[in-house]
Amino acid sequence: MSQSIIQNTIEDLESLRSKSPLVHNITNYVVMNNTANALLAIGASPIMAHAIEEVEEMVTICSATVINIGTLSESWIQSMEKAAAKAVSLGKPFILDPVGAGASNLRNVTIRRILGAGSPSIVRGNASEILSTLNSSGKTKGVDSTDSSDSAVDSGKSLSKVTGGVVVISGATDYILSGAEKAQVRNGDILMTKVTGLGCTASAICGAFAAIQPNQFRAATSAMAVMGIAGEMAKTKTSSPGSFQVAFLDALYEIGADTIKQKLNGE
């Protein structure tokens, strides 16, 4: 099992770098620069575009669409709905990051609207965001997680039944859930919580792998493995968050088969 995750991750990363897929992002203002740089570093080609007049064209020319609700306004929500519907109609991967789910009524309504427009092939969030996305009792403290990822696994499984797709719960252990399937990745470093938007980066990296690996469960697992290992690589360079953010991008660019074999801790 662990062996197959290692091999799959190595193969998917090679495929990603050789295909350099276009990944469309409708994401928040805070992380746009870092998300685009992370996608470039791992080998994808990012497009950031939100205008309602062009989102359908962008979904069409891209191999995956990532929708992140971090900074909302009504016109952006409408574009997110339109992009979600288009991706589903074309059978293309669509990743939802429900940032701050539960922190405001607007966010909960937005999640319902997007889920209504189209079912995401992957939803990625921290435990409280996944709980809130399911309208469960989880209360989110803003964009930080207040529930351990372990306790959210049941809710994640339920959400997977609702969407018919993959659900990723980020935390000290990342859980990747899809129907009866379940994978775990135990890589990463606590310093990753001191850099804004690395959760958003994880969702974008899920999009990059989803763009080249049709099995969305495997794609999400490879993405979370790469994220966690890159975090550990960055931690060997620094213990402070400013330089960690920089070293993390370097690690996404430098990560290769040897490092994956050596560090991947999953099943």
Which residues would be at the binding site for a copy of itself (CB under 8 A)? 22, 28-34, 36-37, 40-41, 45-51, 53-54, 57-58, 61-62, 70-75, 100, 103-107, 141-144, 193-197, 238, 240-243, 245-250, 252-254
| Nearest distance in Å: CB 264, a copy of itself | 21
The smaller minimum CB distance to a copy of itself, of residues 72 and 152, is found at 72
The smaller minimum CB distance to a copy of itself, of residues 177 and 212, is found at 212
| Nearest distance in Å: CB 27, a copy of itself | 9
- SS3 (DSSP) at 49: coil
Q: Is 75 marked as binding a ligand?
A: no
The smaller minimum CB distance to a copy of itself, of residues 157 and 235, is found at 235
59 CB-near residues (< 8 Å, 6+ apart): 24, 65, 83, 86, 87, 90, 92
Q: Is 48 marked as binding a ligand?
A: yes
The dihedral of CA 40, 41, 42, 48: what is its sign? negative
Tokens of 187: 């890589």
| Nearest distance in Å: CB 180, a copy of itself | 36
Q: Is 145 marked as binding a ligand?
A: no
| Nearest distance in Å: CB 40, a copy of itself | 5
| Nearest distance in Å: CB 59, a copy of itself | 11
Neighbours of 216 (CB within 10 A): 22
Please give the angle made by the CA atoms of 37, 42 and 47, to the nearest 5 degrees.
50
Q: Is 170 marked as binding a ligand?
A: yes
198-208: burial string, b at 16+ Cβ within 10 Å, e else? bbbbbbbbbbb
Enclosing H/E stretch for 178: strand 174-178
Distance set, CA 171 to CA 154, 157, 202 (Å): 15, 16, 11
Phi then psi for residue 184, to 5 deg, are: -135, 140
The smaller minimum CB distance to a copy of itself, of residues 18 and 105, is found at 105
The smaller minimum CB distance to a copy of itself, of residues 90 and 162, is found at 90
The smaller minimum CB distance to a copy of itself, of residues 117 and 251, is found at 251
- SS3 (DSSP) at 257: helix
| Nearest distance in Å: CB 120, a copy of itself | 21
Rg for the chain (alpha carbons), in Å? 16
Laid out side by side, the sheet with 174-178 consists of 45-48, 22-26, 64-68, 94-97, 122-126, 166-170, 174-178, 181-185
Binding residues for substrate: 48, 197
Binding residues for ATP: 124, 170
Binding residues: 48, 124, 170, 197
